[in-house]
Structure 1
Amino acid sequence: MSDDVATVTLTIDADDDTTDEVEVPAGLLELVAEGDQETAEIVGDVVALSFASRAHHVVHHGHGHGDDGDLEAQEQTMMDLFEERFGVTFGEATGHQH
């Protein structure tokens, strides 16, 4: 790891009383920030986008999952949460629509 790149450490607390830490380069936070977003909100946006992207990929492009109604329900819930957070659908945000 390069010593001359500043990093930010974030702590994640889950409902099941577990925690984790993630360290990211501070410059990347500045790069993806929109306006005057705070650090936690920036990371929250990235997490929401990542989960939506992963759910979409597994349901629509994944292999070996078969017809899994529960998985599709999980993806739909994530897409609803995505739209609630960002004010646009995942397809509108990414230009990737089916």
Structure 2
Amino acid sequence: MSDDVETMTFSIESEDDADEVTVPAGLVDLVAEGEQSDVETVGDVVLLSFASRAHHLVHHGQGADEELEAQEERVMDLFEERFGVTFGEATGHQH
């Protein structure tokens, strides 16, 4: 049954490397906000995932050093710039 589900493949590139990720197309449509494009939707999910993971490591992990705390602070700034709300406001999870 899962072979019948349509997928979409997205390319990810940096200066030094490249990769691809394939996800079910229906999930992209499901999490899209309004009329945003598929690429914008995947970008939102990527940033949300990094912010969520950083939050977990700093606030719920085994202790964070200054470098990790700085990384978490920066991703939260980027999150707020992209979404117009803080991570805590968006998720209802505040410290």
TM-score by length of 2: 0.96
- Tell me the equivalent position of 1:18: 17
Identity of aligned residues (%): 72
Taking the aligned partners of 2:21 and 2:8, their CA distance within structure 1 comes to: 8
- Tell me the equivalent position of 1:48: 47
RMSD: 1.1
- Tell me the equivalent position of 2:82: 85
Shift of residue 88 of structure 1? 0.1
Taking the aligned partners of 1:34 and 1:52, their CA distance within structure 2 comes to: 18
Shift of residue 75 of structure 1? 0.3
Counterpart among 67, 70, 73 of residue 67 in structure 2: 70
Letter in 2 for 1:61: H
Which consecutive aligned stretches of 4+ in structure 1 deviate over 6 angstroms post-superposition? none
TM-score by length of 1: 0.93
Letter in 1 for 2:7: T
In the alignment, structure 2 segments of 5+ residues that lack a partner are: none
Deviations 1:50-79 (A, max 9, x none): 00000000000001x45x011100000000
Structure with more of its chain in helix, by fraction: 2
3-state DSSP of counterpart to 2:3: coil
In the alignment, structure 1 segments of 5+ residues that lack a partner are: none
Aligned residues: 95
3-state DSSP of counterpart to 2:9: strand
Letter in 1 for 2:91: T
Taking the aligned partners of 2:43 and 2:69, their CA distance within structure 1 comes to: 23
Taking the aligned partners of 2:94 and 2:3, their CA distance within structure 1 comes to: 41
